Amino acid sequence: MPQSGPYKLNLFLIGVLGVALCWWIYHFTDWFEAFANLLALGGIFSWLAFVAKVLPDERLKEMQAWVDSSVLTRPKLWLAVLIVGAVLFVGALCVGTIEVQALRAGGPVRIHKATAAAAERDEPCWELLSANGHARFVIWSPLWKRTEILVKVSGLPDRTETAPGFTRVEMQLPDSFRRPVLMLRPTAALTQQLEGQPKVLVARYRGDRREVRDYHGQSLWINCDTDVDTPPETIAGWRGKKFSTNGDFGGFVLGTKAPVYSSRGPINTCHVRAKLDGLHVTVEDCAIPAMFAAITSTALEVLNNFAQREAFRAKMVFSWSFKAMPDLRDFFPHPPDTYDPTSYETEAEMVSNIFFFNAMGQDDASGEFSLPFDRLDLDWANPIANRPVFAKIETLLKTLAEEMRSPEGRYMAFPLWDGFANRKLIVVHPLGGCPIGATNADGAVDEFGRVYDGGKPAGSKDVLPHLHIVDASVIPGALAVNPTLTISAQALRTIGAALP
């Protein structure tokens, strides 16, 4: 008979040590899921169960008897378990945890020791914090010298924190990283005085110290780190308005009466203009590059067939869910078939009877940009696909397709609009976001692309010196045509005014 005293004590202490270790991993780290998977799904317990099933009962009983006699009933095992537990406990007293919690939106997070030498030596290692998630960082912080850690979230001021051993310090994003920010804006007289005689400026504000050598009188943000140029409240309140999709819309005619050879010639060779209930619309032909002819013709054939489309969709959903590469050989071109003459088609022949509509129209330019936590976001108050211009364009394309198709041909909407997705738009001519306006209340720039001074009262026409915007973002609405020439003309106008 085994000795019940050491046996019970040893088993009890082993159980307590295992539970304590699991609790520490769960409470102080992000490793618990990986640790549990390693034990269960990773195979350790699974293999033990497999071996127990394979071994005969006699052999299994012998192994159980050996564990019982050689391990669990050893008189000094309890002492060894206590020593191991004590060592682990002392180690835990020298290890702390910093937990960053995202209350709403997340962002990239990194940490390093709060010294200039450490900041220069350590390579930036960012960890992406998901919305409403958390990230835990285990820090070596011995009892005799606590470690100060600099916690940095992209787009917010950094924060120095000490993580005592056996402690989890919780920081909430963004509230824990907010702090007063002051902009130092010198007077014009001081700027003129320092223009020819730069000085060394030392600014102190609530514990933050900045030293600027060769100071010429420029404005400075105080209590910001080098990665933050504006307060979070200012960034969160920024809005870029009047974004337009230019009414971009697409569709196909599969099987035209006469060959159209979409792989030949320039990308656009003809167009039709119409006015539908007061909305201007332009429909162009669009070329299909020869290098994409095979994949385009095969993809459209698959998406045109309900059964194949649903099978393709199922494969893509499966591959996305399980992070696996899908087997799409059945959906892509195969080697030539000697019994099928069409399998020897050239690239031009593959898309010779496929017509690609490229349409543009007038939406209401109601898209709005914002910068939540220094991330550019585009949104509409109402879904953009519900704008009436897209329904009118689709009706026009179907009418044109009806006249162009062969008896076996048909109109097919762009796959992301109908078929593979539900009313999704591909915008190839984005316009607006920093639109031209008469004053700073109406737009971001004037007619010459000069950026308005947002610090002035609404309705001001004052602009910031030497700052211009020269791209499609200044166009204040849809053009309903290809915007290349309009963008170029506006850019030339801006450059002409900036460099007379």
* Residue scoring higher pLDDT (282 or 40): 282
pLDDT value at position 234?
A: 42
Q: Among 51-60, 180-189, 231-240, 332-341, which is the least confidently predicted range?
A: 231-240
Mean pLDDT for all residues in the chain: 79
E strand or H helix at 101, and its extent?
Answer: strand 95-102
For 277-336, the pLDDT digits (tens) are 989 999 999 999 888 888 888 778 777 766 566 666 677 777 777 777 777 666 565 666
Q: Is the pLDDT of residue 233 over 50?
A: no
Give the confidence band of 165 by pLDDT, cuts at 50, 70, 90. confident
* Percent share of the chain, pLDDT over 90: 23
SS3 374: helix
Q: Is the pLDDT of residue 498 over 70?
A: yes
Kindly report the number of other CB atoms within 10 A of residue 198's CB atom: 13
Give the confidence band of 81 by pLDDT, cuts at 50, 70, 90. confident
Mean pLDDT of 79-86: 86
4-28 vs 32-39: helix crossing angle, rounded to 10: 140
- Structural domains in the chain? 4-92 (no CATH), 94-177 (2.60.40.10), 182-236 (no CATH), 242-413 (no CATH), 450-498 (no CATH)
Mean pLDDT of 24-43: 73
pLDDT value at position 76?
A: 77
Pairing of strands 220-222, 182-184: antiparallel
Give the confidence band of 228 by pLDDT, cuts at 50, 70, 90. very low
Hey, what amino acid is at 71? Answer: V
Q: Is the pLDDT of residue 391 over 90?
A: yes
Q: Which residue has the tokens 């031009």?
A: 348
pLDDT value at position 155?
A: 62
Q: How far is CA 382 from CA 363, 416, 424, in A?
A: 12, 19, 14
Give the confidence band of 232 by pLDDT, cuts at 50, 70, 90. very low
* Residue scoring higher pLDDT (272 or 231): 272
Q: Is the pLDDT of residue 103 over 50?
A: yes
* Residue scoring higher pLDDT (352 or 220): 352
Backbone φ, ψ for residue 393 (5° rounding): -65, -45
Contacts 24+ apart (CB under 8 A), 226-231: 227/152, 227/154, 227/155, 227/158, 228/155, 228/156, 228/157, 228/181, 231/181
pLDDT value at position 219?
A: 65
Peptide bond into 326 cis (omega under 30): no
Mean pLDDT of 140-166: 79
pLDDT value at position 293?
A: 83
Q: Is the pLDDT of residue 181 over 70?
A: no
State the pTM of this model.
0.51
pLDDT value at position 332?
A: 62
Give the confidence band of 1 by pLDDT, cuts at 50, 70, 90. very low
Hey, what amino acid is at 353? Answer: N
pLDDT value at position 453?
A: 82
For 378-390, the pLDDT digits (tens) are 889 888 999 999 9
Tokens of 121: 């030596």
Q: Is the pLDDT of residue 227 over 50?
A: no
Give the confidence band of 162 by pLDDT, cuts at 50, 70, 90. confident
pLDDT value at position 218?
A: 67
Q: Is the pLDDT of residue 458 over 60?
A: yes
Q: Is the pLDDT of residue 235 over 70?
A: no
Q: Is the pLDDT of residue 468 over 50?
A: yes
Kindly report the number of other CB atoms within 10 A of residue 413's CB atom: 18
pLDDT value at position 238?
A: 55
For 109-132, the pLDDT digits (tens) are 766 665 544 455 555 566 777 777
